[in-house]
Chain A
Amino acid sequence: MRVTWDGEEIEAREGQTVAAVLTARGVRSWRTTRVAGRPRGLFCGIGVCFDCLVKVNGVPDVRACQRVVADGDDIRPQAGAELPS
């Protein structure tokens, strides 16, 4: 299947999480923190820490480690706190 990362089309496999797709592609951080603008990516990997937030199909605050990709997903980095678009 194909998804897009920040507008660019990339390959993904059935069952992969967003975090795995991004990590396999060498993307290591995909959001910045609200206060200091620090980079964050995967941390706990099991849905507990909410550090790996990402925007999927316009919806922010999605845990990349928990979200399994679907064909055509539009995945984008999240800058601090965002509203759904």
Chain B
Amino acid sequence: MNRVVVIGAGPAGLAAARAAAALGVEVVLVDAGPKLGGQYFRQDALASEDRFSFPGGVEHVPDAAVWAVEPIHGGHRVHLRIGAADDPSRTGRVLETRALVLATGAFDRVLPFPGWDLPGVFTAGGAQAMAKGQGVAAGDRVLVAGTGPFLLPVASSLAAAGARVVEVAEANAAVTGWLSRPRGVFAGWPKLPELARHVSALARHRVPYRSRTAVVRAHGSEWVESVTVARLDREWTPVPGSERRVEVDAVAVGFGFTPQLELAVAARCRIEGGFVAVDAAQGTSAPGVFAAGEVTGIGGADLAASEGAVAGAAAAKRLGAVVDPPLGAMARVRSGRRFAAALEAAYPVRGGWTDWLRDDTIVCRCEEVDLRRLMSAVDERDLGGVRSLKLASGAGLGLCQGRVCGRNVAELAGLDGTAFARRRIASPLRLGELAEAEPEAEAVEVPDRALGQDFG
């Protein structure tokens, strides 16, 4: 059937669905959440209205877990379970498409530190999702830590939900440095006014915003009761003697983002430098598969939306729509990527984080693998690959399938961590759900001739 399937209804997926629909192509927009918008436009789940609406021709499939993408002749088969999250009563649906847009986004990277597995330690995005989507603050006294401008809106959301943000700890340089005089790479970045608003809100609430600072340990027995905060040197090794204890009942931590790659890997898209490689039309190396947003590189919502617009148009063209190259969106993608590269350079993760760990620090939360067990597998068994490392150490073998620990484990082991993204079952389902006969696939007609992947 001639329709575009878009996976992910965040900024990239929304823009892709709109662009394709505007070109007269049928679109199915699949998302795990109940409402449109994804993590960025996190909607208030308790409000009855939806902020987003679509032109005709877009079918939104909410509450849908994509558990597999299967390459088939001429396209891909997308397998869904639809209904209450993780419930055995979900129903199956299978979509076949010749034009698949992957807009699966990214999630927070959290670096481990002693005590990070205590309840009360959240990812920055998790704390924000609870605050924005559910109106619940993660705690009463919250410390926000990590790196990058994203920490600021997280702190704002927490404050708006009623938490007292006791400190924002930035492991790199403070954004306030370049924000006050945005020259060079950041000049003209559309995000500047929004960031400035967050900074002044922090100042108004007298929230200390410290650079070269990190939470290096969380304390507590059943719940986090305090954290140790330390100054960091340039390589993120804690400066001896700089440690201080801060009483908190929650910590929100984010060290950048990790793209949600498994569907792209399943669709056989080439991965380069940890992201899906795309051409100027957002086409991946897999024919008929396009990618947009954070899966192609961390760049924020505006870039994601521009990429989505390009991907949606390219996907429509693949189905035979007459499409002029979306030159405006393509130009915005190019400039957006410059800012993204500048941000990445300004907010890297430095190697000194491994100094925060102790032998008994958990590195894989699911399988409770500590540093000692991981490093003994690495050092004594001479493992040269992620697959054998996972099996020998247990790290990455649990329910999250290495989403949380994969990059950290790979870095500790000195391996390329891309292989962690190979997850044939992209989202767990009950054995009975898998056994169930799926409804017949809503099939694709394979055209006689190969259609173009780009606007050429």
Contacts and interface: CB of A to CB of B under 8 A. Distances in A.
A72 interface: no
B130 A23 contact: yes
A75 to B, nearest CB: 13
B107 interface: yes
Nearest to B38: A46
Interface in A54-71: 56, 59, 61-63, 65-68, 70
B39 interface: yes
A63 B85 CA distance: 7
A4 interface: no
Contacts of B127: 45
Given A29-B119, A39-B119, A42-B126, A62 B399 contact: no
Interface in A1-44: 13-17, 19-20, 23-24, 28-29, 33-36, 38-44
B122 interface: yes
A16, A35, A46, A48 interface centre (most CB from chain B within 10 Å): A46
Interface residues of A, number: 41
Which secondary structure dominates where chain A touches chain B? loop
A37 to B, nearest CB: 10
Which of A13, A36, A48, A65 lies at the interface centre, i.e. has the most chain B CB atoms within 10 A of its CB? Answer: A48
Contact of A59 (B47, B88, B367, B404): B88
B84 A70 contact: yes
Nearest to A61: B86
Contacts of B122: 42-45
Contacts, number: 127
Interface residues of B, number: 43
Nearest to B45: A15
B126 A16 contact: no
B198 interface: no
B32 A49 contact: no
Contact of A43 (B46, B85, B121, B223): B121
B86 A20 contact: no
Contacts of B400: 48-51
A43 B130 contact: no
A46 B154 CA distance: 14
Contacts of A56: 87
Contact of B45 (A16, A23, A53, A70): A16
B173 interface: no
Nearest to A35: B368
Interchain residue pairs A-B with the least CB separation, the first 9: A45-B126, A66-B85, A20-B134, A50-B399, A41-B119, A29-B119, A15-B45, A62-B86, A45-B129
Interface of B: 32, 34, 39, 45-47, 84-88, 107-108, 117-123, 125-130, 134-136, 138, 222-223, 260, 365-368, 398-400, 403-404, 428
6 contacts: A44-B125, A45-B125, A45-B128, A50-B400, A61-B399, A63-B86
